[in-house]
Every structure is written in C-alpha cells, then in structure tokens.
Amino acid sequence: MVLGALLVILATKLWQALFDLIWRPYIITKRFEKQGVRGPPYKFRMGAKQEMKDIQKGAETLVLDSRSHDIACKVLPHYQAWSSQYGTTFLYWMGTQPRICLGDPEMVKQVLSSKFGFYAKTYPGANIMAIMGKGLAFIEGSDWARHWRVINPAFHIDKLNMMAKTMAECVLHTLSEWEKQGNDNKTLEIEVSRQFEELTCNIISHSVFGTSDSINGKKIFEAQKELFLITIADFNGSMRYLPTKKNLKKWKLEKRMKNALTSIINSRLDNSKKLGYGDDLLGLMLHSSFPVNDNNSSLSIDEIIDECKTFYFGGHETTSQLLTWTMFLLSTNPEWQERLREEVLKECGTETPNTDMLSKLKLVTMVLWESLRLYPPAILLARDASKDMNLGGLMIPKGTGLMIPILMLQRDKEHWGEDANEFNPLRFENGASRAARHPNSILPFSIGPRACLGQNFAMLEARLVFAMMLQRFSFSLSPKYKHSPVNWLTLQPQFGLPIDLRPLHQ
C-alpha cells in the first residue's frame, strides 16, 4: 500500500512536470498563434532565455555614434529583433512563464489604467526589494491605497513650492564646487553622472526628509549604491540565502541602511514634542503612525522605513539619469543649449529661480520631455495577469507576464513620425499628451492610478538644476565620452558622462 501510494505521488508529480514543461507551453503557444500573436520558439525549460542571451551578448560591446539616439539595438536588442520579425506585439517565454510584449498603446492604456488589480506589479526579486523596500512602488490593493493616502499630500503643489528654496541651495552648493575647481576661465572636465547622483541624493535628504543629518544621509546613499552594484553583478540572486562573501556584504549593507534610516526617524521623534513631526514626507508618515481617529491610514515604523528606501532610491536614481541624459543632449545640440540659456536669462535673469520663474521655462520643459522620450530612466514596465483576461480582444491566460517596452513605444515611427529617433523638442510644444499620434505613447512616469507620484517633484528639480546651470556655464561633450547606454535598473551611460564645462563669468 505504501509503495502504491508513493507510485501515485510520483506519477502525479511527473504528470505535473510534463504539463508545466511541455504541454502547457505548447497549448498556450498555439492559442496565441490562432490569435495572430507569434514569437521565438519555446525551448524545453529555458523558453527563449538562451536566444535572448545570445542576442544581448552580441550587443554588449556596441559603442554608438554620439549623434545617434537609436539605442534599442544596445539596450533592448532582443525586443528589437523579435518585434521586427514577429510584430510589435509578440509572445516569448521566460523559462516556463509566457510573456507578451505589448506594442499597442491602447492595450498599454488598458493595463495601466486598471483600478481593479487585474494586472498586478511583477515581483522584482529579493535584491531589488532590499534596495527599494516594500513601499508604494511594489505593494498592492488596500495596502497601496493606505500608503498613497499618507504620502500623496507631500507632493501637492504648495509643498513643492516650499521645497524649491531648499532644492536651490543644494544646487548652488554643487555648482559652486564646480566653479572652485576651475580657474582663469578655462575649460573644466567633470564626470557629471556621478555628480548628479550626489546632488539628487542631497536634494532628497533635505527636501523630502527635511534632514540636515548629512552623515546618515550619506550612509543611506552609499549603502544603496553598493547594493545596486551587487544586484547588477548578481541579478538572479539564486544563492541569496547562503552565507557567501557577497551575501554577507549585502546583509551588512542592508543593516547599515536600516540603522541610518532608524536614526533619522528617531531623531525626528525625539524632537517631535517641541517641533512636531514636520510637514515633509517623513513628518506626514510619522504623524500617520499615531492617528487620532483614522486607524485605516496609519503606517507602522517598518512601513515608514520601507517608504524611505523607496523614495530615497527612486528620488535620486531616476532623476539623476534624467539630468544626465538631458546634459548629454544639450551638449551635443549647442543650438538648443543656447536657446534654453536665452529663455532662462529672459525669465530669471541671474537670480536664483523661484517656482513662478520656473513655470515660464517652456523650452526647458520641452527639452526635458524629449530627453525622457529618447532616454527614459525606466525602459520597461512589467505586470502580471492575475486572472484570465480579455485585453483589447486578445485572450491572456492567468499568470502571463505583460511587458511594456517604454523605450520602443516612445520611438515608434507609427506614432512619432519618421524623425522618431531624432532629437526634436518642438514635438512637445503643445504638451506631452499631444506630442504623438497616440497620447499613451509617452510613458516615462507611467499612467493611471499607479503613475509616478514624484513626477512634479522630479520635473521641478530638473528645471531648477538646468536653469541655474545655464546661468553659469556653457558645456560640451568631452572627446573621452563613449556613447554606450546600458540598462542597469535604470538607463545609464556605461562609461559615465565626461563633460567640458566653461564658466560664463569669472
């Protein structure tokens, strides 16, 4: 009887394995083919992983011309190859999980605008969660709604206006350091991508968390950066539970980051009796932890720590890449750099810009949107179908991954015209929603209920940085620069961005 039971269990498991590894992929592939959706063939257990690796390997050593913005061949070469062969909406297999690349903006709109949890955010993996925490970016359902109610007020326009002065002080400090490094009005070379990381980290520390605790702020920044580099080197994290040298270092960094955040929070709590919790993001979250009436809007201290991780990383990493790629574009398009400088001097003079002045910088805003179109910090969005769904007439089985290729949608010639791979800020002269033939072809901040909460913060920060920079410097691309964009969680210049700066005034 025991042997019979074991044989039944073994037969059941064998059938399940055969179903998952062979029959299910075959059936799903055939169902999509009947709907006109094809893709690279499924390989036993691996899916399309090996083909993907082979295509990516061929693109790794590419160095592009600095005037070329057709970068999909470098950062999404498998998507480019498959879309040219199978169409912009295609099926591929990541192991045994089917994934659909959505090349139709209407389908994308339906996925991102859903308010009912039909298309859940894809779990990013333990390494990413260690960096960013289980905050607003990744939680779902009622927890997401509760966090959103607490955090949203921190990004209202009146709060942003209050933050602008603090932002300007941080920017002025960085630009003053650049001026000190130069002498006799000569050209100064600076690797600006690293400088922008430090600047945006400083702005997040002071504007969002209201902290002057530079020591703990620096610890958070450095710990997240090291964890970031570990994640890039070991993206799969298949041995993440074993006490390897790499994991021991990672756990130490996670503890250091949590301790630094706890110190900042405890300092605010210690001063709360005299000064209150504050009206910045941290203050709002702490206030929610001790609600008077509404327990449904409270956040625990652990949840606050996770949100701090999310906004500390998201607030400096994505914005620093926006600044970096905009600097690159203005360095390679001197005529636009001069047009922006004229606008800044007309609206702001040589004064430190305030929010009223910044709101008048139309050309600056247009350039920032074109930068986000050509070089979006996040090049892909991922969702999972939580049940069998009808998506724009396409039947999607439960568990299918839905991949939204932001980078490719934002340079699709069908929606952006024949100059889709060219730098042309004038396409945004009537606003972002009217720049393309389809309003959902521009997605740097996503759309729908899960759109980036920090969008206005990031755009205010970027306008301020470039306004103050254009008042003081002209700049061009260093001959040392190699145009090799790479997707390391965010879109980055693989070899940095060395820029030649020339002060406008001694």
Rg value, the chain, Cα: 24
Q: What are phi and psi of 125, to 5 degrees?
A: 105, 155
Distances (CA, A) of 132 to 246, 313, 488: 19, 6, 15
Domain annotation covers residue 458: no
Query: 314 Cβ partners below 8 Å, 6+ apart?
Result: 132, 137, 454
CA atoms in the 13 A half-sphere facing the CB of 247? 10
Tell me whether residue 101 is annotated as binding: no
Amino acid at 332: T
With respect to residue 335, please indicate whether it lies within any of the assigned structural domains: no
pLDDT at residue 245 greater than cutoff 80: yes
User: Does residue 400 belong to any structural domain of this protein?
Assistant: yes
Taking only the tens place, the pLDDT of each residue in 431-484 is 999 999 999 999 999 999 999 999 999 999 999 999 999 999 999 999 999 999
Mean pLDDT, to the nearest integer, of 398-414? 97
Tell me the DSSP string of 406-462: HHHHTT-HHHH-TTTTS--GGGGTT-GGGSSSSGGG--TT--GGGS-TTHHHHHHHH
Report yes or no on 303 lying in a domain. Answer: no
With respect to residue 384, please indicate whether it lies within any of the assigned structural domains: yes
Note whether residue 67 is domain-resident. yes
Structurally, the chain folds into a number of domains equal to 1
Residue 203, token pair as written in the block: 């702005």
Distances (CA, A) of 482 to 62, 228, 234, 478, 487: 10, 22, 25, 9, 15
pTM, full prediction: 0.94
For residue 192, the number of C-alpha atoms closer than 13 Å in the C-beta half-sphere is 27
- Give the burial class of 352: count Cβ atoms within 10 A of its Cβ; 0-12 exposed, 13-18 middle, 19 or more buried: middle
Q: CATH number of the domain at 118, please.
A: 3.30.43.20
**Between 288 and 155, whose confidence is greater?**
155
Sequence-ordered list of residues with C-beta below 8 angstroms from that of 316, at least 6 positions apart, any chain: 197, 200, 201, 203, 204, 221
> Residue 5 burial (CB < 10 Å; 0-12/13-18/19+)?
exposed
- Residue 193 lies inside a defined structural domain of this protein: no
- Alpha-carbon distance of 99 to 229, in angstroms, equals 27
What tens digit of pLDDT does each residue of 114-153 get? 988 899 999 888 888 888 889 999 999 899 999 999 899 8
Judged against a pLDDT cut of 80, whether residue 236 lies above it is answered with: no
**Does 312 reside within a domain?**
no
Domain span at 433: 37-124+379-442
Task: List Cβ neighbours of 444 (8 Å cut-off, separation of 6 or more).
Answer: 372, 373, 376, 377, 378, 406, 410
Q: What is the pLDDT of residue 431?
A: 95
